[in-house]
Copies of this chain bind each other. A is one copy, B any other.
Amino acid sequence: MRGNTFGKLFSLTTFGESHGEALGVVLDGVPANLAFSLEDLQKELDRRAPGKIAGTTTRSEPDKAEVLSGIFSSKTLGSPIAIIVRNTNQKSGDYEAWKDDYRPGHADQTTMAKFGIRDHRGGGRSSGRETLSRVIAGYFAGLIIPTVDVKANITKLGPFSGNVELNDDVTNYLKKLQTDGDSVGGKVSVTIKNLPAGLGEPAFDKLKADLAKAMLSIGAVVGFSYGLGEEFAHKTGKEISTDRKNFGGMEGGISNGEDLYFHLIFKPTSTVGDKATSGRHDPCIIPRALPVVEAMAKVVLADHFLRQRAYE
């Protein structure tokens, strides 16, 4: 009820603070007898590691997955899968100075308002490190829907738009931002291929609603739209009803067998100024967020896939 579980038939319960012993996840509802590869899982985790943007982040943070349960002889048992990642960079030290530093746009102040206590050594439960657990969950979701293809692409990053790649121009822009102690927002579009029709429920658990929740549960995401997105507001019914593809793969909240696509708005990380120049923070979180976005999409799809199967 404190909202650390997501999903119904395929569910993830996550735990861990950024400067505690470990972060992790318990997955309930992974079918039995699926082949597990620690190597493949680790690759997914490595995709969200820092250092993706040449010269920007220097923090060394080897996020190593440790399987505690649910796997036997490289197969899923059908029992809950618990996996943890230890925090290795908890230095004892000068955290006392941060105790009363409430950063705008962060959870510092609201955590105090809500809980009356916080782990001031870092973002605590609201740290981006929590997304580790989601990436792990996404790997297992992928085992449930192996033929579904989920791909997130950057479509805007500061002044760059279109299909944004991390080329020299972009990298230099980001380095400059970091030197300035600044950060930047942007956009991401997700395309999902080979999704069967019939996923999603007619009322509250529309596929678009569960995707929106999943995406907005990611810290830096501030907007979600699907299909024509923003353009819908400028169109007439006659213009949109000519082509099913305009609806982004969902009609009545249920997948229609077409490619599914949706769009996200990211805010710039609000760690700015001196802290941001230290090399321990990303000037743009989006590149590292792509595997998190893909993971959460897979989690939603795998859950709805199992839900639908129960009734067929």
Contact = CB atoms under 8 A, between A and B. Distances in A.
Interface of A: 1-6, 8-11, 13-17, 20-24, 26, 28-29, 31-33, 66-72, 75, 77-82, 84, 103-111, 113-119, 124-126, 130, 156, 158, 177, 180-187, 197-206, 208-217, 219, 222-230, 232-244, 246-248, 250-257, 265-273, 276, 306-312
A4 B26 contact: yes
Nearest to A8: B1
Given A32-B115, A233-B266, 9 more contacts: A2-B205, A5-B204, A78-B117, A114-B254, A184-B237, A205-B217, A222-B232, A232-B265, A241-B272
A64 B220 CA distance: 38
B111 A252 contact: yes
A211 to B, nearest CB: 8
A105 B253 CA distance: 10
A78 B216 contact: no
Most buried by B among A114, A238, A308: A114
Given A266-B233, A268-B240, A11 B1 contact: yes
A208 B105 CA distance: 13
17 contacts: A2-B203, A2-B311, A4-B26, A4-B79, A4-B201, A16-B80, A32-B311, A33-B116, A78-B114, A79-B124, A103-B241, A104-B241, A110-B200, A114-B308, A232-B265, A240-B268, A241-B270
